[in-house]
Amino acid sequence: MRKIDELLEEYGLSHQNATNKFIHWICVPAIFFSITGLVYSIPAQLLATYLPFLGSFANWATVVLIAILIYYVTLSPPLALGMFLFSAVCLALANLLDLLAPVPLWAISLMVFVVAWIFQFYGHKIEGKKPSFLKDVQFLLIGPAWLMHFIYKKLGLAY
């Protein structure tokens, strides 16, 4: 069995309850976005100096997401493509909010992060099982991939 299949199966063991799954469909992407927004908010003046090839994309969120996408590629290149597209949407939304929102991006992201985690823990209370990441921090990255693999299955795509 491939490592990605083992990780998705293990993650799925603590996500059987329909309410918990529903909460995860909303909160996992929200948490992913909120972390992207928080990291995007870190000033990047030095980053642009050391990584000039990033051009206008020189921000910490881009660098962190590249590292995360490399991890996904090691697990499943097709799944990494879906995560790349989702990551690009998160970056674009962070950029848009950073430019247009009347509230700082970090404040919006922090609020989304806190509220989403409250709901996540509530979902796990309903489930009666602890979140997977308490066993292995790697599962913080498997959650988004777990949702993406359902999208791939629905579309009939191999992951």
**Three-state SS across 29-96?**
HHHHHHHHHHHHCCCCHHHHHHCHHHHHHCCHHHHHHHHHHHHHHHHCHHHHHHHHHHHHHHHHHHHH
Q: So what's the pLDDT on residue 158?
A: 94
Q: Indicate the length of the chain as a whole number.
A: 159
Q: So what's the pLDDT on residue 135?
A: 80
Average pLDDT over residues 4-23: 95
- Which residue range is the domain that position 43 belongs to? 3-155
Average pLDDT over residues 3-22: 95
Q: Answer yes or no: is pLDDT of 82 > 70.
A: yes
pTM comes to: 0.91
- Total domains in the fold of the chain: 1
Least confident range from 52-56, 85-89, 148-152: namely 52-56
pLDDT band for position 56 (cuts 50, 70, 90): low
Question: Which tens digits make up the pLDDT trace of 116-149?
Answer: 999 999 999 999 998 888 887 889 999 999 999 9
